[in-house]
Amino acid sequence: MKVTETRLKGVFVVEPQVFGDARGWFMESWSQQKFEDAGIHIRFVQDNQSFSAVRGTLRGLHYQLNPMCQAKLLRCTRGEILDVAVDIRKGSPQYGQWVGAKLSAENKKQLFIPHGFAHGFLTLTDNVEVQYKADNYYAPACDGNISYKDPQIGVEWGMEPVILSEKDKNAPLLAERTDLNFVYGEDC
């Protein structure tokens, strides 16, 4: 398993080693030891899975406030997505910056998104399944979102989304989020 930090400190692309033979293939998708060796100390408590039928489906940009903030390890097990993380920690030198990675069933890459980051993805194919681990439980009272088309962030999605929830269509800009309680250098 190769764990590589992106240009945003704390966000990592994870590339599992895939072993193939006449039967198919095998890979290790999660290893606590290998994450700890890379300096990531995390305890996952919940697994989630989503399905999106249509290319151009957008989910995000989402986050959970403290004390229920979530770190996530996300992978695409069917189809392909552009997965995006945005730093929303007050005082961070990376505040408002984003990084994206193409994740697919074919490349088997994963993206680790730490606390204090908003997260979203856009489906690049039809019939997409996404699975992710979270280190905190879903808490509706702490749920928040930011507009996927916020010009301050400037995510380059590569196409205009065709399907998204009303919540995501009407999400506020980052500058309008006065409830953010993530502070650079502090954990939740």
DSSP string, the chain: -EEEE-SSTT-EEEE--EEEETTEEEE----HHHHHHTT------EEEEEEE-STTBEEEEEEE-TTS---EEEEEEESEEEEEEEE--BT-TTTT-EEEEEEETTT--EEEE-TTEEEEEEESSSSEEEEEEESS---GGGEEE--TT-TTT----SS--SB--HHHHTPPPGGG------BTT---
Catalytic residues: 62, 132
